[in-house]
Amino acid sequence: MDVLLYEPEIPPNTGNIMRLCANAGAHLHLIEPLGFSLDNRQLRRAGLDYREWVEVVTYPSLTACLAQLNPPRLFALTTRGQRYYTDCHYQLNDALLFGPETRGLPCTVLDQLPANQRLRIPMCPGNRSLNLSNAVAVVLFEAWRQQGFNGV
């Protein structure tokens, strides 16, 4: 499974996601521009010593990332999605795309995907969003669960 962070802004979130990917056997892909340096102290603190256990690749653009990965299916997580993330049957080489913490994925990215590949996590009415690392954890673990926790 591939986790793609589009223009992440907050170092501790990315550090937590590094740790999460290491523990779930996922690959982490960061799409620039990043809101921090990869040697940021907060990033290292949140990721602890898991940086060496997870493959992290950066790309200058989403186009470059997708050209390199060529995932069979790309799912974008967005509060504007109509389909719940739990209604999807994930496959081993699927890619999960998450937007920046303060603004989410832009319409220019979302509009390139079919509606059934724009997923959302349910929330109580009136709430805006989950923390990015929490959102990645929720969706990644569901995808991994559907794969029978492959690799454990």
SS3 sequence of 87-104 = HCCCCCCCEEEECCCCCC
Average pLDDT, the chain: 91
Please tell me whether 99 is known to bind a ligand.
Answer: yes
Per-residue pLDDT band for 13 (boundaries 50, 70, 90) equals: very high
Please tell me whether 17 is known to bind a ligand.
Answer: no
Beta strands in the chain (DSSP E): 2-6, 27-31, 56-59, 74-77, 83-84, 95-98, 118-120
> Which pLDDT value is given to residue 41?
65
Q: Which residue has the higher pLDDT, 115 or 46?
A: 115
Please tell me whether 129 is known to bind a ligand.
Answer: yes
C-alpha distance from residue 23 to each of 78, 83, 102, 106 (Å): 24, 27, 26, 29
Please tell me whether 133 is known to bind a ligand.
Answer: no
pLDDT of residue 152 exceeding 80: no
CATH 3.40.1280.10 fits 1-145, yes or no: yes
Report the distance separating Cα 114 and Cα 60, nearest Å.
Answer: 24
Tokens 């290292």: give the residue.
44
- Predicted TM-score (pTM) of the model is 0.93
> Which of the 8 DSSP states describes residue 38?
T
> Which pLDDT value is given to residue 2?
97
Q: Are strands 83-84 and 95-98 parallel, antiparallel or unpaired?
A: unpaired
> Which pLDDT value is given to residue 99?
98
